[in-house]
Amino acid sequence: MNTHPCDAGLASVASSGSEKMIYDIRMGPQGISHEGSYYVAYQAAARGGYAHPYVTRRSPDGRWSRPVRAGKVAESDHHLGPVIWLDDHLHFHILYNCHFSLNRSRHRVSTRPLDISCWKNALPIAPSISYPRVVSFPDGRRLLYYRALGHMGYRTYRVSPDGRHWNVPADPLVDFDRDPLIPGDEWSGSYHTVARDRQGLCVHIAFVRWDERNRVNPLYRRFVNLWSRYDLYYARLDISSGTLFNIRGEPLPRPLNRRVARQRCLVWETGEHLTNMPSILIDRHDRPQFCLPVAGDQLDECRFWFIRREGDAWKRYPVTDTDNIWNGSHLEYGKDGSIAVFLIGRATGHGELPYGGGTLEEWRSDDGGRRWHKVRTIALPRGFLANNPKPVEDRHGNILPRTLLFFGWKGPRPIPAQGPFSGKAFLWRDGQWL
């Protein structure tokens, strides 16, 4: 195991960022690569005030452009950050200001191909969008997966043939509080992670249950508020037909509610132990694997678990400890078939961090996820905390190997919700800072 010191060339690619300037696994992408250039979209307040959407570019010669403000928001809210994609004509699109309210999201497009310097308004995609995730496919299609309405809203999607025009909305896909039966059903929402299958025909969906009740968790004997997430479920969406399937290939009703999900889609029922959205890795047989943070008997005694399907059962294996279920992870295969997970480990010398933060570490398994060893700590400037390691994609949705976009800030306290905003975004490629 190695601890790599900060390289002499270490520099952030963006600054003045809000909490989650690089968002967690629910939203994306925020980093894309095309013909040797890298493009990063993030939320920041370069001149103080509200945190707006910005885009910056790294040219093939290694130089970063000045950041361009691509839109504006009217309040401070880390949910309002941008996602970015390229359409078939190589125009950039950003979608931002997405949370709760009807007709609030903003869709903008670059006025010229591969040029981030000037933007204009584009047609709205949907009346209500929260947590947008754009999934690109090799055949040119894009799928926008999102939540409609608020915490108790539903998940749905739209498909675009070219990245510019979007079809009519699909019917609700997952709606946990639909047709409540047992106590708690009527207060159940869900939070999701999605990943493309290998053939470009389906989307794998992993989701956790949100408990809207502002109640004292009996295990932790306190209100858990924004940590109020439990259990893990899985389903697969066939894009052409719109049919949902469980892991056994059985079709599921739409919308999928909590009762049916518990009966037919459950991966892990965690009881009163808290959890959060997992990262997903698709194996060569097109089966999903997950890295899931789960809290122990104390809120700050958490662990990352690797979960895979073996025969007719889900099996889980410990990876390492961490201290917050908001600490993020990213899974990918190595060239030799090993599995790497980049994750946020336990931080030291800090107070309670509402949305996590810690050391950025690489762990590896050479036996399919059963046993793990630490490879390195990717060191940041002294006193910095990191979170939300995410992959960089090309315009077809392919993941660039060992290339991470994440954000960090000077601890020990979190970035204040209303500023000043001190977040910095970093781009790391296999030991090099870009």
> Which pLDDT tens digit goes with each residue over 152-200?
899 999 999 999 999 987 789 999 999 988 888 899 999 999 999 999 9
* Alpha-carbon separation of residue 399 from 62, 66, 77, 166, 184 (angstroms): 20, 26, 29, 24, 38
Q: What is the pLDDT of residue 8?
A: 38
Confidence of residue 418 (pLDDT cuts 50, 70, 90): confident
CB within 8 A of 165, min separation 6: which ones? Answer: none
Q: Reply yes or no on whether the pLDDT at 351 is more than 80.
A: no
Fold of 2-433: Methylamine Dehydrogenase; Chain H (2.130.10)
CB within 8 A of 262, min separation 6: which ones? Answer: 231, 233, 269
* Alpha-carbon separation of residue 353 from 17, 62, 385 (angstroms): 17, 34, 10
C-alpha 11/C-alpha 256 separation (Å) is 45
Written as one string, the DSSP assignment of 151-201 is TT-EEEEEEESSSS---PPPPPSB-TTSS--STTGGGEEEEEEEEE-SSSS
Hey, what are 258's tokens? 């909590």
pLDDT in tens, 299-325: 999 999 999 999 999 999 999 999 999
Candidates 261, 251, 262, 308; CA nearest to 284 is 308
Intra-chain end-to-end CA distance of the chain, in Å: 23
SS3 content of the chain, % helix, strand, coil (to 5): 5, 45, 50
Which backbone phi and psi does 78 adopt, to 5 degrees?
-65, -15
Candidates 175, 177, 171, 174; CA nearest to 158 is 171
Return the number of other C-beta atoms located less than 10 Å from residue 201's C-beta.
16
Chain mean pLDDT for the chain? 94
* Alpha-carbon separation of residue 371 from 338, 346, 363 (angstroms): 11, 19, 10
Q: What is the pLDDT of residue 432?
A: 94
β-strand 384-394 against 31-34: which pairing, if any? Answer: parallel
Lowest mean pLDDT among 47-51, 197-201, 220-224, 289-293: 47-51
Gyration radius (Cα) of the chain, Å: 20
The domains of the chain are located at: 2-433
Which backbone phi and psi does 264 adopt, to 5 degrees?
-125, -10
Q: What is the pLDDT of residue 7?
A: 38
On whether the CB atoms of residues 114 and 88 are closer than 8 A, the answer is no
In the DSSP assignment, the letter for residue 7 is P
Candidates 340, 339, 377; CA nearest to 358 is 377
pLDDT in tens, 216-249: 999 999 999 889 999 999 999 999 999 999 999 9
